[in-house]
């Protein structure tokens, strides 16, 4: 977002359920011997060692998403392998929470290193995407560690985060193939350590988590303009006011020259002073149970082409792409600072717009991913793959958000050009305002829903220039229906005519625009 002048299923989802009782490799659990308790008398089968619940949580023309919950009812085990057979010609396309494979009709899911141990009564949830045609019968022949399963029934899952109302102008039905998310485990307390499971952000318990909150602008521009580090207070009371809105995340825009301590920045606002201020804000956000999202907003590199925000070589405005000279170094430093705390999320670059500099969309997406010498951009560009590589080279496994082009509003080429992440902890980011090109449900269904079916989707900025909240109400309803994340722009006391401002005071007093987000977050709290 630019800043004020002062700051120079085709189906809703057919639910199938199947519960299997599985005898664990460790043998019968306590109480399974003859005469050892209720249900073990003549004519009654003794309880088996493990239960497996399989359910199709969403289905569309040609594909579906399924969830599998494995509960160990026997002695603790240190590793597991689940097997079953597809009987309707289904073909596995993607899985998470396990190492998945398919041979013929047989499907196998083997534990990851972090979820192989299951104590007595413990559960693990895994998921998959698969293609189908004709019919989509539930799998058969379940085994766990080689032991056969019996069948039963499982409760039908329901999406989380359903909206409290449907604003005027929102469609009553949405032909959307995006898998919905289902809460099957208890979320961790406080700010979670996050990872990616398929198209969901999850905590260490495997519970689905959404980033719902605000942007806290200031760290990107105050330092380079010589005014300070943050715009307005960021003390404990100010952060508590954000938490009082029932926010779960705060996005914190940064400036690479201030972080790296370049000499064009005043000494009191650069280098160690700037880094320490950011670390202190991150600590306060975490202390209030919210996820900090560290985002690179303004960068080095002279650009005077289409839609240029400034002609300055320094990081004093939004550039079309990050620069190869400083940005990889910035992300190496940020990742090294926070790599041991997976409660912190990284957002690689605010709003790429190489499409305004290049002559074709294909050129724009290639520049976006690979960087180098890009048409229309006079400096050497660092692509999204370069920045992700810089983060991962530090050993960081933090979740990383990667925005699209056209000021992060266009994700039409995201799946085809997404950078490769060896950790699998990659999410897509998009921004949407009422004045963007992709600002209606038809566009979101056609270009965003396919991305959301494959990766977590986070709306890093939502807003409107009307000083009202009718548009963001529609964005939130569309996102809630799909279990997606969103953060309002911005937690600053600006005038609506200069830019969307959520508050009129840092005690959390909302503007007419911010009232919509505040009331919506409070209504969602705990749901």
Looking at the chain, which residues constitute the CATH 3.20.20.80 domain(s)?
162-524
Check whether 288 has a pLDDT greater than 50.
Answer: yes
Average pLDDT in the chain = 84
Question: How high is the pLDDT of residue 2?
Answer: 53
Question: How high is the pLDDT of residue 524?
Answer: 94
**Angle, in degrees to the nearest 10, between helices 512-524 and 470-480:** 20
Averaged over 124-140, what is the pLDDT? 84
Q: Based on C-alpha coordinates, what's the Rg of the chain?
A: 24
User: DSSP for 262-291?
Assistant: -TTS-GGGSTHHHHHHHHHHHHHHHHTT-E
Question: How high is the pLDDT of residue 526?
Answer: 61
Looking at the chain, which residues constitute the CATH 2.60.40.290 domain(s)?
17-151
Is 3.40.50.2000 the CATH classification of the domain at 162-524? no
Q: What is the CATH number of domain 17-151?
A: 2.60.40.290
Q: Rounded CA gap, 521 and 246, in Å?
A: 6
Q: Please, which residues bridge with residue 402 across strands?
A: 428
Lowest-pLDDT choice from 102-111, 287-296, 316-325: 102-111
pLDDT in tens, 436-478: 999 999 999 999 999 999 999 999 999 999 999 999 999 999 9
Check whether 509 has a pLDDT greater than 80.
Answer: yes
Report whether 177 contacts 10 (CB < 8 A).
Answer: yes
In this prediction, residue 99 has a pLDDT band, given cuts at 50, 70 and 90, of: confident
**Residue in 196, 278, 291, 219 with CA at minimum distance from that of residue 487:** 291
b (16+ CB within 10 A) / e for 267-296: eebbbebbbebbeebbebbbebebbbbbbb
DSSP 446: I
Averaged over 338-355, what is the pLDDT? 98
b (16+ CB within 10 A) / e for 326-365: bbbebbbbbbebbbeebbbbbbbbbbbbbbbbbeeeebbb
Q: Rounded CA gap, 508 and 80, in Å?
A: 49
């Amino acid at each position: 977002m630019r800043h004020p002048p002062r700051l120079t299923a085709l189906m809703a989802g057919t639910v199938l359920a199947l519960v299997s009782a599985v005898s664990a490799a460790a043998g019968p659990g306590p109480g399974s011997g003859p005469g050892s308790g209720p249900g073990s008398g003549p004519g009654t089968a003794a309880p088996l060692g493990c239960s497996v619940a399989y359910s199709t949580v969403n289905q569309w023309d040609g594909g579906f998403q399924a969830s599998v919950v494995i509960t160990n009812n026997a002695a603790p085990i240190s590793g597991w392998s689940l097997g079953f057979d597809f009987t309707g010609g289904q073909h596995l396309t993607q899985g998470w929470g396990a190492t998945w494979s398919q041979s013929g009709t047989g499907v196998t899911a083997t534990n990851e290193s972090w979820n192989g141990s299951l104590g007595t009564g413990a559960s693990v949830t895994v998921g998959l995407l698969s293609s189908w045609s004709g019919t989509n019968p539930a799998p058969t022949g379940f085994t766990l560690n080689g032991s056969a399963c019996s069948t039963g029934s499982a409760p039908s899952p329901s999406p989380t985060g359903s909206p409290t109302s449907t604003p005027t102008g929102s469609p009553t039905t949405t032909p959307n193939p995006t898998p919905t998310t289902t809460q099957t485990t208890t979320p961790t307390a406080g700010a979670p350590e996050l990872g990616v499971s398929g198209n969901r952000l999850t905590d260490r318990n495997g519970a689905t988590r959404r980033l719902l909150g605000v942007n806290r602008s200031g760290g990107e521009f105050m330092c380079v303009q010589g005014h300070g580090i943050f715009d307005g207070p960021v003390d404990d009371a100010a952060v508590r006011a954000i938490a009082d809105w029932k926010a779960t995340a705060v996005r914190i825009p940064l400036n690479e020259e201030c972080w790296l301590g370049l000499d064009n920045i005043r000494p009191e606002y650069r280098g160690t002073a700037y880094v320490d201020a950011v670390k202190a804000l991150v600590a306060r956000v975490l202390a209030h149970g919210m996820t900090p999202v560290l985002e690179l907003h303004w960068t080095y590199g002279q650009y005077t082409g289409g839609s240029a925000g400034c002609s300055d070589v320094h990081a004093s405005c939004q550039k079309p792409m990050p620069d190869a000279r400083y940005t990889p170094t910035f992300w190496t430093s940020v990742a090294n600072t926070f790599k041991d705390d997976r409660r912190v999320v990284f957002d690689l670059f605010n709003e790429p717009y190489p499409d305004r500099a290049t002559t074709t969309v294909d050129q724009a997406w290639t520049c976006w991913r690979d960087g180098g010498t890009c048409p229309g951009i006079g400096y050497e560009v660092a692509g999204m793959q370069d920045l992700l590589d810089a983060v991962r080279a530090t050993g960081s496994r933090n979740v990383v958000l990667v925005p699209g082009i056209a000021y992060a509003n266009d994700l039409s080429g995201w799946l085809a050009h997404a950078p490769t992440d060896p950790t699998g902890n990659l999410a897509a980011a998009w921004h949407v305002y009422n004045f963007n090109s992709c600002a209606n449900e038809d566009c979101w269904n056609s270009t965003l829903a396919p991305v959301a079916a494959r990766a977590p989707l986070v709306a890093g900025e939502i807003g409107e220039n009307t000083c009202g909240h009718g548009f963001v109400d529609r964005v939130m309803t569309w996102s809630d229906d799909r279990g997606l994340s969103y953060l309002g722009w911005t937690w600053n006391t600006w005038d609506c005519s200069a830019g969307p401002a959520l508050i009129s005071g840092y005690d959390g007093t909302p503007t007419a625009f911010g009232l919509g987000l505040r009331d919506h977050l409070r209504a969602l709290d705990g749901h």
